[in-house]
Homo-oligomer: A and B are copies of this chain.
Amino acid sequence: MTSNLQAIVQNTKRSAQSVAHLSTAGKNHALATIAQTLEQHIPRILAANQQDVEQAYRDQLPAPLINRLKLDEKKVKGMIEGVRSVASLPDPVGVRQIQRELTPGLILERITVPLGVLGVIFEARPDAVTQIASLAIKSGNGAILKGGKEALHSCTVLVELIQSALQATEVSPHTIELVTTRGEVLEMLNLENDIDLIIPRGSNEFVRFIQSHTKIPVLGHADGLCHLYIDGEADLAMAVAVTIDSKTQYPAACNAIETLLVHSAIAKDFLSQCLPQLEAKEVEVRGCDRTRDLFPHLKPATEEDWRTEYCALILAVKIVDSLEEAITHINTYGSRHTEAIVTSNPDHARQFQQGVDAAGVYHNCSTRFADGFRYGFGAEVGISTQKLPPRGPVGLEGLVTYRYYLTGNGHTVAATQSFTHRDL
């Protein structure tokens, strides 16, 4: 039996096959048209969003979720600006990565191609619709969007506007489709022959659920349990500044730190300077036994704290006696996202960068830099904490794969005496 979802996905798959070969100009024109159409319908977008927000208050949804759900004119204009900025990014499709003569007349090329169909599952945030739709089109992919029911009206209007904009372009409106009923998440996760990549946007539990219920590759991460280690040979003023930024600049972000490791040699001096500043920023500090021996007013940190991503103004502090102890703690409890050391000793920095297994290993700077835009990728599709590439912040390159094209003139293996392997 072909369900409604399967029919939609097949349709998007076919549409994506034609977007895959579209020129950069054709794709950018489609994005410009989408931006223009959205701009002409800002009141309609805000009205639909208002319906969702009112329903969310009636349903007494949590305040942070309502904040993410709520759009205003400034936010919508930012979304439209985002569509235009994707148009300005380099086209990730058609990049020749290898061009090599294998033997005279037999030429191997490796060329980037789109993945096919992206499955995007997100909670609350209607801005994910325009962001993913524009990234999908720019990378020559189709996208099936599944938004949370709390954003139903907002997402529906946004996708309607995108599809109506695409009518006048070379990109088929079916390239971007929204599915809205509840059962469809699990059904999507089972379509491993038709959906090539799942991109989840939501809470840690949400991402973890998706990762464990699909055979489709998932781009993203469940946990962002990041550490900062203050070495025994650190510039303490720098250490304080990096600690404050890593914890408080945006505590709900995945790249904010949860645990601060401090070398025992400088623990008293450093924490005497740092704790008042953390407390001034309303950070709740929880200390290990040795930290509390020095600062008895702190709440105790337990084993559970080392495993917890607070996503809030809470920081666990542990005193360690060596760089090795810090590395072992991080490799035991970290989520392989982003880890940092503050030290004036370059050997210690090198040992830390070699010993810590994470997508990002930083020296004398804030963990908050872990971000596709800050890395200069122009866009961020997600941050991956898996070990295999793509790892860390992933830009548009995460939405393409490659094919090998081999072109000959009747070449056979039996008749090939030797290989030249000459890069052209």
Contact = CB atoms under 8 A, between A and B. Distances in A.
Given A17-B355, A353-B405, A412 B217 contact: no
Interface in A337-366: 342, 349, 353-355, 357-366
A241 B414 CA distance: 10
B413 A369 contact: yes
A365 to B, nearest CB: 3
Contacts of A250: 413
Interface string A382-415: 0000111101110000000111111111111111
A38 interface: no
Contacts of A393: 404
A21 B350 CA distance: 11
Contacts of A405: 353, 360-363
Nearest to A235: B410
Nearest to A400: B389
A219 to B, nearest CB: 9
Contact of A369 (B106, B237, B368): B106
A226 interface: no
Contacts of A365: 106, 406-412
A376 interface: yes
A108 B369 CA distance: 10
Given A106-B369, A249-B413, A376-B102, A406 B242 contact: no
Contacts of A358: 403
B375 A108 contact: yes
Interface in A155-212: 196-197
A421 interface: yes
B360 A404 contact: yes
Contact of A374 (B20, B102, B197, B249): B102
Nearest to A371: B413
Contacts of A406: 360-363, 365, 369
> Which of A20, A245, A349 has the most CB atoms of chain B within a 10 A radius of its CB?
A245
Nearest to A346: B407
Interface in A82-125: 100, 102, 106, 108, 115-116
Given A20-B354, A387-B401, A362 B407 contact: yes
Contacts of A360: 403-406
28 contacts: A100-B375, A102-B374, A108-B376, A115-B388, A116-B387, A197-B388, A217-B386, A244-B412, A245-B412, A245-B413, A245-B414, A353-B405, A358-B403, A359-B403, A360-B404, A361-B405, A361-B406, A362-B406, A363-B406, A365-B407, A365-B410, A365-B411, A365-B412, A366-B412, A368-B413, A370-B404, A376-B421, A391-B402
Which 10 pairs, one residue from A and one from B, show the smallest C-beta to C-beta distance?
A: A365-B408, A245-B412, A376-B421, A238-B410, A365-B411, A368-B413, A360-B404, A362-B406, A363-B407, A366-B412
